[in-house]
Chains A and B, each alone.
Chain A
Amino acid sequence: MSTAIADKKPAAPEVIPTFTATLIIRRFDPDVDDEPRWEDFDVELYETDRVLDALHKIKWEMDGSLTFRRSCAHGICGSDAMRINGRNRLACKTLIKDLDITKPIYVEAIKGLPLEKDLIVDMEPFFDSYKEINPFLMAGATKGGKERKQSPVERARFDDTTKCILCAACTSSCPVFWTDGQYFGPAAIVNAHRFIFDSRDEGSQVRLDILNDKEGVWRCRTTFNCTDACPRGIQVTQAIAEVKQAILKGKP
């Protein structure tokens, strides 16, 4: 019995196949560079590796100065949104093998926000417009201090927009936002949608008034870049369209 088990064990650990991919990264060091520059790295990778693993490998083994943001590395914290082969993606949710590795993989910071270093942008303007739409439940005291009840149907109304992780992939994929940084951007509107259509919330009108602005929902040109970029699969453009209709109707 014991020999049978021993026989099944491979003599030597099986070699996991690797492949080489070329990453071309748009680098910028404000202390040294006047302009961003492209730098390429050849990285040895496994089939299961994501773009984030490749960036780790570069930072840990090749060039420690490579700067990028990441935290949970599993698509929840929303720190590592970047432009991979010209599209906004989370580095931790993009498998290298899903990209065309016969060609170099282009990695650069998200567009439309001030570039700070390498793949890091200043997220403050993004969070400023997020804060402007009051992203919290606005509701007075309930009768008798009881809980606020909500039916499953009412909850489902805004379920899609609760998934947002504020990675800024949508906002920085928007051609309108690139040219007009004053535009609230898809992420802020998605988070407004989450409360506007919440039956427990009493501040819908306030939010609709904020978004019924020159720089509000009417700036949306339905390019659907945001819907394509969202790593959580939120139907962003549709949410914006629903807010537009709510403003026209005067109520959610």
Chain B
Amino acid sequence: MPEKSASNLVAEPLSPPKIRSPRRPAGTLYRGNEGMWSWVLHRITGVAIYFFLLVHILDTALVRVSPEAYNAVIDTYKTPIMGLGEIALVAAIGFHALNGLRIILIDFWAFGAKHQRVLFWIVIAIWLVLLAGFIPRQLMHVFGG
């Protein structure tokens, strides 16, 4: 019996492999520049903000139903995880707002379309300044007690 199983092991590679190679050898990722990645970030932050607003409208509307339920929900937000989530929220809104201004400048100002790359880095710089002002304060709030 052990001999037979050994021969099976040898013969096995000859049979067609059951696990096929990746079904769709996808093309390479398109290597866009600042413009493309700012658009990707804009879309991601936009969708994230949409879902936040959905929840936000629901929890705020709760105050009309029952103030106690509203307070209970708001209390669950006062956790460190939600505090960190607020940092992500401010970062997303900050980027979306600043990049939105950049897109307006690109569409309505010939200078904007020519210098979109510089504008993108200006957006990133202002965004980082914004976060540098907010994040330490927020961390003190969340963890400082």
Contacts and interface: CB of A to CB of B under 8 A. Distances in A.
Interface of A: 26, 35-38, 83, 85-87, 106, 108-109, 111, 173, 175, 221-225, 227-228, 235, 237-238, 241-242, 244-245
Band of interface residues on B: 20 to 34
Contacts of B107: 222, 241, 244-245
A56 to B, nearest CB: 22
Given A237-B106, A241-B106, A175 B39 contact: yes
Contact of A228 (B29, B32, B110): B32
Contacts of A244: 107
22 contacts: A35-B23, A35-B24, A83-B30, A85-B28, A85-B31, A86-B28, A86-B30, A108-B28, A222-B35, A222-B106, A222-B116, A223-B38, A224-B33, A224-B35, A224-B36, A225-B30, A227-B35, A228-B32, A228-B33, A235-B114, A238-B110, A242-B110
Nearest to A220: B107
A7 B24 CA distance: 62
A108 B30 CA distance: 11
Nearest to A238: B113
Contacts of A38: 25
Contact of B27 (A26, A221, A224, A237): A26
Given A111-B30, A224-B36, A245 B108 contact: yes
A221 B43 CA distance: 10
B39 A83 contact: no
Consensus secondary structure, chain A interface: mixed
The 5 closest A-B pairs by CB, nearest first: A224-B35, A86-B31, A238-B113, A223-B36, A223-B39
A173 B30 contact: yes
Contacts of B39: 175, 221-223
Q: Which secondary structure characterizes the binding site on chain B?
A: helix
A109 B25 CA distance: 13
Contacts of B36: 175, 223-225
Interface string B85-116: 00000000000000000010011101001101
A126 to B, nearest CB: 17
A145 to B, nearest CB: 38
Nearest to A107: B28
Given A175-B39, A221-B39, A225-B35, A83 B28 contact: yes
B25 A26 contact: yes
Given A222-B116, A235-B114, A245-B107, A37 B32 contact: no
Given A222-B106, A237-B113, 12 more contacts: A26-B27, A35-B23, A35-B25, A36-B24, A85-B31, A86-B30, A223-B32, A223-B38, A225-B32, A225-B35, A237-B35, A241-B107
Contacts of A106: 28
Contacts of B27: 26, 36, 83, 108-109, 111
A234 to B, nearest CB: 12
A222 B103 contact: yes
Nearest to B103: A222
A223 B120 CA distance: 11
A178 B33 CA distance: 17
A108 B31 CA distance: 13
Interface string B17-57: 00000011101111111111011000000000000000000
Contacts of A37: 25
A10 to B, nearest CB: 43
A106 B36 CA distance: 20
Nearest to B30: A86
B23 to A, nearest CB: 6
Contacts of A245: 107-108
